Amino acid sequence: MSRSPNVDSLELGFLAGNQLPSTDQVDRIFRLYSAFERAKSDVHATGKTSSDNLGILVKHLVDCFGAVNPRSSFRRRNDTASVEDCCFTCKMCDSLCNEPLTIPCGHTFCRTCLEKDPGKCIRCGSVFDMKSESISTLKTNILLLKTIEKWFPKEAKAVKLKHQGNLSFSQKKFDTAARIYSKAIEEVDTDHLLFSNRSFAYHVLGRHQEALQDAETVIHLKPDWPKLCVQGYYRKGAALSGLQRHSDAMIAYLECLTLDASITAVQTALKKILDKILVQGSQDPQEKPSSWFQDLIQGNNGFLYPRTESSDNRTSRYHTSSSHSSSSHLPSLHNSTKPMTSADRISLLLSSRKRSHDSASSVKESSPTKILKDLITMTLRFPSESSHSDILPGTASLCHSDALPTNTSCPRCRHMSAKVRCKEDFECSLCFRLLFRPVTTPCGHSFCLECLYRCLDYRITCPLCKSSLTQYLAERRTATTVAIDNILETYFPEDNALRKKQQQTDLEEFTEITDVETSSKHKIPTFVCALAYPRVPCPLHIFEPRNRLMIRRCFESPGRQFGMCISLEGREDHYEEYGCLLRIRNQQYLPDGRSVLDTIGGPRFRVLGRQVKDGYYVSEVEFVKDTPVEPSKKEELQQLNNAVYKEATRWFESLPPVPHTRILQHFGAFPALEDDIFALADGPAWVWWLTAVLPIDKRAQYSILAMLTLRERLVSLHKFIMAINRRWTK
C-alpha cells in the first residue's frame, strides 16, 4: 500500500502485512509507556528521576528493544556456534589463546580469563574445584603454545603486546597503553580485543571520536559477542556519551543489553543516559504533554496507573488542563470497570493516530518522546521473532573440519603455509605415534590417554618432568583435550583416521561378544586369578599394573567383558582349559590407581590358544554349552534337580549366622528354581551359586565348571552335600 506524507508511521506499523500487532507486542508497548511517564513525572515534579523508576524504564526498554532487535534471537540460538569448533580460540574472550590452560573437563582457555572466572567451564558447564590460587599452579599447555607460536607468529606477537598494553593500562599509563595497542594492531588488524582495549584507552584520554571509531570496528568484527570487558556496543555507548550524543549512546547500550541483559555496568550507564535525556527534555519548550504519546497517557491514567491517591496526585502533575486535554478525543477507559483487552489497546492506539500525527510533527528529533516513538514504531514493524531468523548470517567457525585443510576457512589459518604443519609435532612421546585421545597433565604435557595411564600404573609422576600426578590419578581425569583433538581431526584427517584404525586393530580382543551360539572362535583378554561361574557375582580387587591396563581397556570397550581362568597347578603362565566370561557391571577406583570390580558371570568357554600382549593374557576360545537332554530323560532329571535343590536349601539354612550372612553379602541370595531348566545353555543358576559357596577344594569346583551335562553336576553336588553334612555331624 502507498503511504501518504500525512500518514503516521504508527499506522504503517499496524497495517504492515495486513496484520495487527500481537498481544505480546501491545502489552510490551503499554508497559513501556507507563514506565516512561513515571520517569517523566519525576522530572516534572522534582527536576530529577528516581533510581527505582529509572530501573523499571531500563527493564522495559530492553524488553521492547530486544523484541525488535534481530541480534537478540540470533544470539540465543548461536551463543556458542562462533567458536565452539575453533582449535585456537578462547571461548571466554573469543580471541587467540594467550598462555593456554587446559582444565579438567578438557577445554582450554587463556590463563588471564580463567583467573577472572574460575570454577565452572562455560563450554560444557562442568563444575570443578579450581580457585584462582590453584590456577596459578597450572602450567601452560606446552603443545598448544608451541603450535600457536609456530603457526601464527604475528598473532602470537600481537597477543604478547596486548598483555603489555593491559599491564600499562592497569598502571594508569593510558597513553602508553594506547600506543602499545596500536603497535599490536599493526601486526594483526582483526583482533577485536585490541580495538576494544584501545577504544577504552582513548575514552579515558578524552579522545572520544577515536574511541568511537575503534568501537565501530569491534562491532564489525564481533557484532554478536556480548562479553562486557570488550563489548563493542558498550565501548560505543561510552564514546557517544563522551561526545554528548546521548540518544545514540542510549541505543548503543540497548544493543549491548539485548545481547546480555545481565550486565549491571551497562544498566547503570543506561540509567545515567536516560536521566540526562529526560532532564534535558523537560527543559525543552517543544517537549510538552501535547504530543501523541502524552495524549494517549492523559486519556488513560486509570489503566496505566493503579487507582490510588498517590497515583492520581502524580498524574495530575503533568496534566496541563482538562479543557485542553486530548483525552476528550480518545475513547477513555479511565472509568471502565472491565479490564482492558489487547483489542481495546489496539483500538485506542488507532483512534489516537490522527491526533498524534498533528502534535508529533513538533517534537524535536532528540526529544525523549521522539526517541520512544521511534522505538515503538520499530516494535510494531517486527511482528514476530521468527522473521529474524535469516537477518544475520551465522558466524563461521574458525576451524571448520569440512573446509580444512584443502580450503581453509579460518581467518588465522588462511595465511598459514602448509609447510609449517608437521604431524611429528603431535606424536606421543611415549608410544611415538600420533596422539590418540590426547590428554594434558597439570604440568602442561600431552600424551595419549592410554599411554599416560600405563605409566601411572607403575609410577604416579609425569613421564617427562616427573611432577607428581597423585591428584590427577585420584580424580581419574580422562577428558580428552578438545583443542588438540580438533587440530588432529582438522589438519591431519588421514593420519588421524589411520591412527584410530590402528587402535581398533590393537584392541580387537575387546570387541563385544554378542553371539555365543556359533562355533566360531573369539579372542578375549583373560584374567588368570580365580574361578567364576555363569550368572554368579564375582567381586574383584585389581592391583597389579598389567591387570589394571587390561581392566581399563575392557571397561572402555562396548561389551566390558573378559575371561576368567585359574592357573594350572600353581603355574600362572599355563592356565586351565575351561573358564567363564565375566561382564563388568561397575568399577570403583581407589586414589592410588587400584580398583574394585563388580562383575557377573556369563557363558563358559574352552581355551584353544594362549598368548601374552602388553603384559596380560589373550586367549583364543570357543564357547561351550550343556549337551541337550533326551526327551525321555527330562522327567527324571527334573526330579533330581528338585531333590538336590531341597538338600542344598536345608544345608544353607543350617549354616551358622556369620558364614550365612557373609555368603549373602558376597554372592547374593540363594536363586529360586527356574521354570524350564532345559532351555538354559548352562543349566539352572542355583547350581552355579551353590558350587561357588560350598566349602570344597578348587579342583573340585573346577571339575564341576568343566562338566557339560546337568546330570553330572547334580550328582556331584549331591555327593558333596552329603559329605559335608557327615563331616559336620561328627
Q: Quick one: pLDDT at residue 294?
A: 45
Rounded distance between C-alpha atoms, residue 260 and residue 248, angstroms: 19
Rounded distance between C-alpha atoms, residue 186 and residue 171, angstroms: 23
Q: Where are the alpha helices (DSSP H) in 462-605?
A: 470-474, 482-491, 493-506, 545-556
Helix axes 192-205, 174-187, angle to 10 degrees: 150
Look up the CATH architecture of domain 418-504. Answer: 2-Layer Sandwich (3.30)
Query: Where on the phi/psi map is residue 133: left (φ > 0), alpha (ψ -120 to 50), or beta?
Result: alpha
* pLDDT single digits (tens) 396-414: 334 433 334 443 445 444 4
**327 is written with which cell numbers?**
483525552
Per-residue three-class SS string for 210-224: HHHHHHHHHHHHCCC
Rounded distance between C-alpha atoms, residue 91 and residue 74, angstroms: 18
Task: List the end-to-end C-alpha distance of the chain, in Å, as a whole number.
Answer: 111
509 secondary structure, DSSP code: G
**Contacts within 8 Å (CB) and 24+ apart, 606-610:** 606/577, 606/578, 607/526, 607/565, 607/575, 607/576, 607/577, 607/578, 607/579, 608/521, 610/526, 610/574, 610/575
CA neighbours closer than 13 Å in the CB half-sphere of residue 576: 25
- Domain residue spans of the chain: 9-76+281-388, 418-504, 512-624, 631-729
Q: Quick one: pLDDT at residue 100?
A: 93
Residue in this structure with the C-alpha cell 603454545, named with its chain if needed: 145
564 secondary structure, DSSP code: E
Helix axes 153-170, 192-205, angle to 10 degrees: 30
Cβ of 328: how many Cβ atoms within 10 Å? 11
Strands 108-110 and 100-102: antiparallel
CATH 2.60.40.420 fits 512-624, yes or no: no
Q: Are 119 and 140 in contact (CB under 8 A)?
A: no
Rounded distance between C-alpha atoms, residue 689 and residue 703, angstroms: 15
* pLDDT single digits (tens) 634-683: 899 999 999 999 999 999 999 999 999 999 998 989 999 888 888 888 89
308 secondary structure, DSSP code: S
Low-confidence ranges of the chain (pLDDT < 70): 1-30, 32-33, 40, 43-48, 64-85, 129-133, 223-231, 280-417, 514-519, 570-573, 730
Q: Is the dihedral of CA 153, 158, 161, 162 positive or negative?
A: negative
- Label residue 639 exposed, middle or buried (CB < 10 Å: 0-12, 13-18, 19+): exposed
Helix axes 51-68, 23-46, angle to 10 degrees: 150
Instruction: Name every residue whose Cβ is closer than 8 Å to that of residue 676 and which is 6 or more positions away in sequence.
Output: none
Q: Are 430 and 422 in contact (CB under 8 A)?
A: no
- DSSP states along 533-555: -TT-EEEEEE-SHHHHHHHHHHH
* H helix or E strand, kind and range, residue 624: strand 616-624
Look at residues 691, 701, 643 and name the one whose alpha carbon lies nearest to residue 535. Answer: 691
Rounded distance between C-alpha atoms, residue 589 and residue 582, angstroms: 19
